[in-house]
Amino acid sequence: MLPSRPVRSPEGEAGQLLQEELLRTDLLRSGTDLLRAGTDLLRAGTDLLRAGTDLLRPGTDLLRPGTVVLRTVLQEALLPEASVPQVLCSQLLRADLLCSGTDLLWLIAKQ
């Protein structure tokens, strides 16, 4: 890598030291530029994550009332409660919540 500014090359060891210092300075500038570019990329990524989080919040808010509705529907199911074992009720509720949540997230992603 050559120095970015032309320098009259003095003779001997002093000239060699000057050339090395100029090279170090150029390398430091390049490294600083790379760090700035990396920082800019990180900022852009952070901004994208914030936007994604903001998009997920309404979906979460929609899932909460859906959970309550599903619990109510399950409790008022056609089958008498005595004929549905408690373990099965919780499994059905989990399955319904997962399906509803997946459908809702798919709709949000589609928008």
Residue-wise pLDDT for 34-83, tens only, equals 999 999 999 998 888 888 888 877 777 777 777 777 767 766 665 555 55
User: Is 24 a domain residue?
Assistant: yes
More confident residue, 7 or 57: 57
The answer as to whether 30 is a domain residue is: yes
Token look-up 């530029």 returns 33
pTM, entire model: 0.39
Residue 69 domain-assigned? yes
Quote the number of domains for the chain: 1
Domain residues for the domain of 106 are 12-110
For residue 88, pLDDT over 80 is answered with no
Q: Which of 43, 39, 2, 37 is nearest to 23 (CA)?
A: 2
> What's the rounded Cα separation, in Å, for the pair 23 and 74?
74
Token pair of 67 as six digits: 């959970």
Share of the chain above pLDDT 70, in %: 59
Q: Does some domain include residue 3?
A: no
Whether residue 77 is contained in a domain is answered as yes
6 assigned to some structural domain: no
Residue 1 lies in a domain: no
Reading phi first (left if > 0) and then psi (alpha if -120 to 50, else beta), residue 96 is in: alpha
